[in-house]
Structure 1
Amino acid sequence: MRKYLSSLLLLILALSLVACGPGPASKDPDNDQPGDGSTDTPEEVSVEEQTLIDQDGIVIKATRLDSSWLGPELKVYIENNTDKAFTVQTRNSSVNGFMLEPVFSCDVMPGKKATGAITFAADDLEACGIDTITDLEFSFYIFNADSWNVILESDIIHVKTSAANSHKQVYNSAGVILFDTEDITIVYQGMSEDPLGLAANLYIENNSNEGITLEAMNTSVNGFMIEPAFICDVMPGKRALDTLLFYLDELDACGIEKITEIELNFHIINLETWDTIIDTEKIKIEVD
């Protein structure tokens, strides 16, 4: 759930700026100017200019990896050679194998061009221990700006940086194992405070060949039934850091000042078909 709240906050902040600018006079993507933000890319790396989509009158190119006050951003150049206005967004995004939701939405009118930036929050990268970006993965979701009808859902796109062959990401999976199979691992990594409440931190690893969605079911805190804010998508071969967020007003209503015990079941389904993969047995988390 943390990634959704973080993305919502970032989106609100980003909307106060220019999320997607008009296209350059020339078709040369290099006319896109670097951002002047003060936040550096975790370690200076670069990407080669490359075409990501060239289909049905839609062209999207990655031009470079830049930095902004929010965090690193992949600059993109978009052409709309169709007769309909469309909106371009990203789905199923990851950085160095961690599921991270960027800020990105770009409207392009028929026959026009635009430049935009797929921005990843510096705080999210730091939480995942990412100090050098080696690879970005995401899919494009393109829909009619007026009717919202889907125009194109791309396959997963891979963008490698100049550090792809020289840096290896380290994954911190330390903690209390809540659920562990050959395909899926869930680890409890302690509690943290959130402006909205108290959060149980989870590390989730998906080693299966299908995307999964995790939900919390039948959840209780200190013996009181309280449903947390939690839903987590993890693509095949990826990892995620997320939280079971318990809102302060619900905790206060139950007279809970400190969480000592959490009980729940995880409901795990296929991300695409919604078919149930497994409903775990009751899991108890003892909070120090």
Structure 2
Amino acid sequence: MKKNIMKKLGVFAILFAFGLSALGSGESNDSTKDIVSASEAGSDAASDASADDSAGAADVAEEDADLSIEEQVLIDQDGIKVTATGIEHDAFMGTGVKLLLENNTDKNVMVGCTALIVNNYMISDLFASEVAAGKKANDTMYMMSSDLKAAGISNIGQIEIYFHVYDSDTYDALFDSDVVTIQTSKYNEMDLQADEEESGYELWNQDGVRIIGKYVDENSFWGTGVLLYIENTSGRNIGINCDDMSINGFMVDPVFSATVYNEKKSFDDITIFSSDLEENGIDKVNDIELSFHIYDADSWSTICDTGAITFSVDQAAE
């Protein structure tokens, strides 16, 4: 019981931080700047920043107020049964899938999620539910509203879930499920392409992996965020890390790790902490250099290392 309480407190703390992040990013759109090539920086060739993160979980929940699903069994394996029973609309948490979890084994288990995909976009989740041996639990898998907004998803039509089940006492893995797919009442009208998907500056496009720099937010919760659009048509699930990053010529330690399944898309942030910028006397991001390490997410084998990629931040809108 103590473990479950601590888990829920930890999840709440993370959600609270994300909530503050959404509030902070919505205070001023002046902090977001388009990513452009070095030659376009400050010129009329760059478009105005189009990011608007003011809509929060309440807006997403309101948009999906009429969303529904039919009850269906998602997994029934090795004594573990998970049933999708409906859609939850919460003003703070956003939109989620209501789940009934049944543990018919003699072990205490944790049911988690290795990947959540909505309308072909990778979406963050904070789902982990502990179920004692021989017991049942009702829980909800919420879809991160900021991710839905970034992907331009207002009509949730298809939800794909990969479950991970493990022994909550020993942490031994029990099984990973194949993908389970839920079609909602808005399946025939779902959003499959973000309106601004093609805008931005292309940083990489090779061997089925495409990365576009969208914009830089100098007022994100942790400091500065660089939003990327990633598209994977490589034929395998990929992971991407960021290496050797510098801002205005000064090395920084970014936080970035993205996983994009085959034939899927994702919007992900590179985070640069305020302390890194302050230590180097950086009050405005002008030029960025970085490299990407792209690898097979299943085998961990390297696909490629991109080498240095240089781009600039448009300041023309100031």
**TM-score above 0.5, yes or no:** yes
1:148-167 to structure 2, matched below 5 A, reads 148-167=171-190
Cα gap change, 1:188 to 1:10, in 2 (>3 Å) = farther
Q: Structure 1 residues 214 and 88 mapped into 2: Cα distance closer, same or farther (>3 Å)? A: same
Is the counterpart of residue 215 in structure 1 residue 245 in structure 2?
no
Q: Which amino acid aligns with 1:42?
A: E
Contact kept in structure 1, 2:235 and 2:263, CA below 8 Å = yes
Give the structure 2 partner of residue 20 of structure 1: none
Please tell me whether the aligned partners of residues 124 and 147 of structure 2 are also in contact (alpha carbons under 8 angstroms). no
Asked if the contact 1:41–1:66 (Cα under 8 Å) also holds between the matched residues in 2, the reply is no
Distance 1:138 1:11, change over 3 A: farther
Aligned length: 260
Q: In angstroms, what is the RMSD of aligned CA positions? A: 2.0
Residue 188 of structure 2 aligns to which amino acid in structure 1? Answer: N
In the alignment, is residue 272 of structure 1 matched against residue 275 of structure 2?
no
**Counterpart AA for 2:141:** I
Kindly report which structure 2 residues correspond to 1:44-193, keeping only aligned pairs within 5 A, or say none: 44-69=66-91, 70-171=93-194, 172-192=197-217, 193=219
What do residues 67-91 of structure 1 show as CA deviations (whole Å, max 9, x unaligned)?
A: 1121111001111111111011111
CA displacement at 1:181 relative to structure 2: 2.3
Q: Secondary structure at the match of 1:209?
A: coil
Contact 1:229 1:244 in 2 (8 A): yes
Kept in 1, the 8 Å contact 2:225–2:272? The answer is: yes
C-alpha distance in 2 between matches for 1:97 and 1:157 = 13
Mapped to 1, the partners of 2:229 and 2:259 lie a distance apart of 12
* 8 Å CA contact 2:116, 2:124 repeated in 1: yes
10 and 148 in structure 1: CA distance in 2 versus 1, 3 angstrom threshold: closer
Q: Distance in 1 between matches of 2:224 and 2:171?
A: 36
Q: Kindly tell me: are residues 145 and 53 of structure 1, through their superposed partners in 2, closer, same or farther at Cα, counting changes over 3 Å? A: same
Tell me the distance in 2 between the aligned counterparts of 1:169 and 1:38: 22
Taking structure 1 as the reference length, the TM-score comes to: 0.85
Q: Distance in 2 between matches of 1:209 and 1:241?
A: 19
CA distance in 1, matches of 2:151, 2:259: 16
CA distance in 2, matches of 1:151, 1:71: 30
Given that 1:226 and 1:246 are in contact with CA atoms closer than 8 Å, whether structure 2 keeps it comes out as yes
> In the alignment, what sits opposite 1:196?
222
Q: Deviations over 1:167-193 (max 9, x none)?
A: 342222311001012511100111112
SS in 1 for 2:63: coil
Instruction: Tell me, yes or no, if the aligned pair for 1:42 and 1:133 is still in contact at 8 Å.
Output: no
Distance 2:307 2:212 in 1: 15
Residues 227-242 of structure 1 aligned to structure 2 (within 5 Å): 227-242=253-268
Contact 1:42–1:130 (CA<8 Å) still a contact in 2?
no
Greater shift in the superposed pair: 93-102 or 163-172: 163-172
SS at match of 2:13: helix
**How far 1:42 moved relative to its partner?**
2.7
> What's the secondary structure of 1:252's corresponding residue?
helix
Q: Deviation at 1:12?
A: 2.3
8 Å contact kept, 1:269–1:277: yes
- Which secondary structure does the structure 1 equivalent of 2:146 belong to? helix
CA contact (8 A) 1:99 1:234 kept: yes
Structure 1 unaligned blocks of 5 or more = 1-7, 16-36
* Partner residue in 2 for 1:21: none
Q: Given the alignment of the two structures, is residue 243 of structure 1 paired with residue 265 of structure 2, yes or no? A: no
Going from structure 1 to structure 2, the CA distance change for 1:215 and 1:61 (only over 3 Å counts) comes to same
Letter in 1 for 2:165: I
Q: 2:283 aligns with which of 257, 263, 271?
A: 257
Describe the SS at the equivalent of 1:194: coil
- 1:9 Cα deviation from its structure 2 partner: 8.3
TM, length-normalised to structure 2: 0.77
